[in-house]
Amino acid sequence: MKKLSFISFIFALQVALVACGTENEPTSTSTPEVTDATTSEETEAPETAEIHIEGLADHYHTGDQVELTASLSENVDYDHWHWYTKVGEQEEWEAAPGQEGQTYSGEATTDGLHIKATLYDNDHEVFAESDPVSIEIDDHHGHDDESKQIYQGYFEDDQVEDRELSDWEGDWQSVYPYLENGTLDEVFEHKARHGDMTAEEYKDYYTVGYETDVERIVIDNGHVSFYTNGEEASGDYEYDGYEILTYEKGNRGVRFIYKLADAAESDDLPQYIQFSDHIIFPSESHHYHLYWGDDRTELLNEVTHWPTYYPSEYDGDDIVRDLLAH
């Protein structure tokens, strides 16, 4: 018992000595609290850069030049670009030969061709990638010899068929403002290089043809709205047959005619409208020449003044591209 008491005394003494030593040590500095700004788990990762492809046209014609530019949403030092393409539902993307810059340049040959741009970092890892864009080729009047002949005005009478007003349904804009502001000068210069008049003479010719104060026309389910200086005049029109015209050069054209359903509906509306778009049977129109007035026969004699309309969503570049193709 005495031995056990002695051991207990020694243990108690050691504990007391340790406690005394601890009281004389300096107090340790507490660890600083980590703020939200320095907590890596809570810090928002920087947004991934985005690539937007610019320059895509609403549509192309076979052989048109496709010019695209990849625009990056933030400034970086990387300049290692690749463009990739695939056709339709093809699974694998293929590197476009020679397309290793920020711009893509090629010829429109495949309808539905998908194109995307990819930017790589210095380790050849993908830094950013664009959403794909698609090339739409629409030759409007066809690309075969027969379609070309019809467009030029050479066809047989029995090829002509009646057409519904729905062939011209949509929201349309006059091309005349684009002639006035100089956008179409490129077209006239092109015609001068391949035709028998100067660019100025072509511009004068088309000025007479395009001139109009009806800047917009909307056609919807037989209802036609004319906009002049922002003012609207609307009425319903019904089919009144077609007329085949023969021109001085020997080629021909077809006027598809519609008359105002209610002749007394409005003094602001023409009694007749006549469409000419180089198409001679039912088909969706992509641009047209329009003649309007109150005398059906007299309108058929008008061959120098043909206000021309394109879809309102087209910009100047789209219209120039279309005119150059024809």
User: What Å distances lie between residue 64 and 56, 94, 278, 303, CA to CA?
Assistant: 12, 22, 21, 30
Residue 31 has a pLDDT of 37
Residue 292 has a pLDDT of 97
The pLDDT of residue 164 is above 80: yes
Residue 169 has a pLDDT of 98
User: Hey, what are 224's tokens?
Assistant: 């036609």
- HEC assignment per residue over 282-317: CCCCCCEEEEEECCHHHHHCCCCCCCEEEECCCCHH
pLDDT band at residue 47 using 50, 70 and 90 as cut-offs:
low
| Contact status, residue 221 vs residue 237, Cβ threshold 8 Å | no
Q: What is the mean pLDDT of residues 264-280?
A: 89
**Largest CA-CA distance found in the chain, in angstroms, rounded:** 141
Q: Please enumerate in sequence order all residues whose Cβ is within 8 A of that of 96, keeping only pairs 6 or more positions apart, or say none.
A: 82, 83, 84, 85, 104, 106, 115
pLDDT band at residue 39 using 50, 70 and 90 as cut-offs:
very low
- What are the φ/ψ torsions at residue 224 (nearest 5 degrees)? -120, 125
Measured over the CA atoms of residue 318, residue 319, residue 323 and residue 326, the dihedral's sign is: positive
Q: What is the mean pLDDT of residues 300-322?
A: 95
User: What Å distances lie between residue 29 and 20, 26, 32, 35, 216, CA to CA?
Assistant: 20, 9, 9, 18, 79
Predicted confidence (pLDDT) per residue in 171-181, tens digit: 999 999 999 99
Strands 126-129 and 113-120: antiparallel
Helix, strand, or coil (residue 145): helix
| Contact status, residue 225 vs residue 218, Cβ threshold 8 Å | yes
Q: What is the mean pLDDT of residues 184-211?
A: 96
pLDDT band at residue 104 using 50, 70 and 90 as cut-offs:
very high
pLDDT band at residue 33 using 50, 70 and 90 as cut-offs:
very low
pLDDT band at residue 37 using 50, 70 and 90 as cut-offs:
very low
Radius of gyration from C-alpha coordinates of the chain:
37
Helix, strand, or coil (residue 10): helix
Give the N- to C-terminal CA distance of the chain in Å, as an integer.
121
For 27, counting Cβ atoms within 10 Å of its Cβ (0-12 exposed, 13-18 middle, 19+ buried), the class is exposed
Q: What is the mean pLDDT of residues 159-179?
A: 98
Residue 300's CB: how many other CB atoms inside 10 A? Answer: 15
Q: What is the mean pLDDT of residues 45-68?
A: 80
Q: What is the mean pLDDT of residues 32-40?
A: 35
Whole-angstrom distance, CA of residue 175 vs CA of residue 172: 10
Whole-angstrom distance, CA of residue 117 vs CA of residue 111: 19
Is this prediction's pTM over 0.85?
no
In order of their start, the domains of the chain are: 51-135 (2.60.40.10), 145-325 (2.40.128.20)
Predicted confidence (pLDDT) per residue in 211-250, tens digit: 999 999 999 999 999 999 999 999 999 999 999 999 988 9
Whole-angstrom distance, CA of residue 243 vs CA of residue 72: 54
